[in-house]
Structure formats: C-alpha cells, structure tokens
Amino acid sequence: MSEANNKGYMGSHLREYGMIMALVAIVFFFTVIVRATIDVDFLSAQNITNLFLQNSYVIIMALGMLLVIVAGHIDLSVGSVVGFTGAVAAVLTVNLGWPVIAVIPTCLIVGGLIGAAQGYWVAFWRIPSFIVTLAGMLVFRGLTLWLLNGQNIGPFPKSFQALSTGFLPDLFGDADQVALGMERLNGTGLLIVLIAAVVVIWTGWQKRQRDASFGITPEPTTVFWIRNAIVAGALIFVGYKLAIFRGLPNVLMVLAVLTVIYAFFTEQTTSGRRIYALGGNEKAAKLSGIKTERLVFFCFVNMGVLAALAGMIVAARLNSSTPKAGVGFELDVIAAVFIGGASMTGGSGKIVGVVVGALIMGVMNNGMSILGIGIDYQQVIKGLVLLAAVIFDVYNKSK
C-alpha cells in the first residue's frame, strides 16, 4: 500500500492510534524528566508494579463505565459503591469471620443488586441516569458511614489481601532464587507475557485477513507491523521487568482476563453490538427489535458488579475499609473512558482504548507524584487533559 494510503488510513483512525502514541510519549517524557530531576528510574520493576497495583480499580471500573457511556448514560455512584462494598467485605470478613471464598461472591452480588436498583429506574422508568446515580452516590456514601460507624475496619486476612497485593507463583522454580545474573526471574510470568505478545500479533493478523476477505479495506501492512511491534515490545518489556521483581501481580491477571472478555463481548457478540446501536440511535434500535430497556439494565448491573470488585481490591490494598474509600473515583474512571476515545453522545468507544486511557491517567498520576507535584496542580493538569480529549473528539466529528 502506498505512503499516501498509509497517511489516509492513519488520518481516518487518528483517535485510535493517537492514544497509543500519546501513552508512549507520556511514558518517555516522565522517564526522561524523572531521571534528570531526581535520578530515579521511572521504568523500574518496582514502579511498574506499583503502577498496576495503584490503578487497577480505575481500569476495572472503566471497562464497565464504557458500556454505560456507549449506551448513552453515565454512572456517578461508582466511587460510593466502591466504598460501600469494601465496607461490606470488611464487616463480613473481620467482624463476622466469614471465609474469603464466601465474601467475594457475596460482595459481587451486592454490587449487582445496587446496579440493578439504579438501572431499573433508568431503563424502565426513564429517569435520567445523571439524577439516579447522583442520588446513589449520596445514598451509598451515607450507608458506608453508617456501616463502618465512621471508623476503619481491618486488618484483612492474608487470603483477602492477595486480591490486590498477591503475585502469581512461579511454576518453574522459586522466584527468590537467583536465575539471571544478579536478578530474580519469574519464569511463569515471563512465559505468560511472551505467549500474550504472540497471541496479540496472531489475532491482529487474523482480523486483518478476515477484513480483507469481506472486502473491508485492511490496515496497511506497514502500520500493522509498527503498531504490533510497539504493543508486543511493550508487553515483553513490562513482563520482563515484573518477572525480575516479584512476578505478575494477581490483579494484573484479573485485568488481562477482564479486558479479553469485554473486548470479545463488545466486538464479537450480538448483545455487544446492540449496545453500540442503542447508544448511536435509541429509537432506531428499538424499532429494529432491540430490547433497549434490558440492555440499559444490564449495563448498570454490570457496572455495579465491577464496582464491587474494585471495592474489594481497594480494601485489600489498604488492608482496611475506610469511610473515605472511593471518594472521587468516579471522576478518574469517567475521565479514563473519555480520554480512551469514547464519545460523549454514546455509540462509540473501544475496550482497548479505555485501557490505554486509564493507563495514561495512571502514568500521569504516578509520574507527577514521583516528581512531588502537589495534588492541586495534578487536578488542574488532569482536568485540562480531559478537556483536550473531549475537544479533540468534537473536532473530529465536526470534520
């Protein structure tokens, strides 16, 4: 394919590729600045591990928030649901002595019921989601304070803490043994990452071939190999860094599995495509026979379950449930979705884009914290980045 066609394809997919390039540029910027300013390796194994541990809840909830926003709605209550389900987990685990194997599904069910309660009013009574979830944000923040009696509850047992702070064991030996020079090497983690890199390239090539067979203009060969080289290289680099530290965090494995499931659901299933049709034009979707109310209801139930999972991970990381857990989380989650390419009007957005958007937010938070930038300036910068992403989306649509 000619260079002109390459440029034309890149121009028509500017948002998709722009996010990847932006993430690479931001990582490169902080790597250079942090090294020059305080002589610290921004891409050290420990910092990469912390990056995933600190931002896992954002990515998990962003997956669900994407479906809600694609369907043309919003959920402002996720931060409060995180705090409430974390409090439920603490009461059941610490106060009542429930086993972790029973606490986890119970909290997920609680989150699903919360999503169902809010989704019912939005889907079947057509009350604006902004109002319903704003009410939910206040209600569940108050219930969290009531359940905890204004105090922290903890610590959690080690099995519960493993949700956030645990690492995948090395099946090929003791990760604490010296296996590569002076560094430890978790063979299982490195093997998983290598397989993931191969799978990413293989599935991308299969999709490219499938598009060509259906007469869809495929991604230019040059663009395909450059993009996949960047993604595979990043995966292998991060995997190696994690392997020489403590291996792959449990929460990273959860994120990977959820990302694959939701990417498959949104791109390969009828229900996933119907959610996009609903967000694009609800009346047309309804006239075509799509049960729009059920889809909206499902999106909110799904959001509640993911918020509950995030709540348990946050509680496990803090090793206690606190009344202030989850405060402001909804802002980071919504920002990650919009930065990742979702449209304000619904009907568009991709799971991979949301993950990249959440990583951009996470890298910015991590880099600015290392540099000692105050929380006041951090909020200003994140707000400007979000505004720029939305303006970019509106500008592209106007063209």
The pLDDT assigned to 100 comes to 94
Is the CB of residue 144 less than 8 Å from the CB of residue 89? no
The pLDDT assigned to 164 comes to 87
Phi–psi pair at 78, nearest 5 degrees: -60, -35
Q: Beta strands of 131-276 (E only): which ranges?
A: 178-180, 183-184
- What's the rounded Cα separation, in Å, for the pair 369 and 363? 10
The pLDDT assigned to 296 comes to 97
- What's the rounded Cα separation, in Å, for the pair 310 and 81? 9
Which CATH number fits the domain 13-166+249-398, given the four candidates 1.10.3470, 1.10.10, 3.30.110, 1.10.40?
A: 1.10.3470
The first and second tokens of residue 56, run together, are: 């896992």
Q: Spell out, as residue ranges, where the chain has pLDDT lower than 70.
A: 1-16, 173-184, 397-399
The first and second tokens of residue 397, run together, are: 């649509």
Of all residues in the chain, what percent are helix, strand and coil, respectively (each to 5)? 75, 0, 25
Question: Which of 286, 277, 297 has the alpha carbon at shortest distance from 124?
Answer: 297
The pLDDT assigned to 214 comes to 79
Q: What is the pLDDT of residues 135-148, one digit of tens each?
A: 999 999 999 999 99
The pLDDT assigned to 292 comes to 95
Phi–psi pair at 31, nearest 5 degrees: -60, -45
| Chain center to CA of 42 | 21
- What's the rounded Cα separation, in Å, for the pair 290 and 271? 9
Q: What residue segments make up the domains of the chain, in order of their start?
A: 13-166+249-398
Name every residue whose Cβ is closer than 8 Å to that of residue 328 and which is 6 or more positions away in sequence: 79
The first and second tokens of residue 185, run together, are: 């090497």
In terms of pTM, does the model score above 0.75?
yes
- What's the rounded Cα separation, in Å, for the pair 119 and 113? 10
Q: How far apart are the first and last CA of the chain?
A: 25
Phi–psi pair at 216, nearest 5 degrees: -85, 135
The first and second tokens of residue 360, run together, are: 């951009």
The pLDDT assigned to 7 comes to 58
For tokens 């685990």, the residue is 93
Ordered alpha helix ranges (H), 39-92: 45-70, 78-90
Question: Which of 48, 49, 47, 66 has the alpha carbon at shortest distance from 58?
Answer: 66
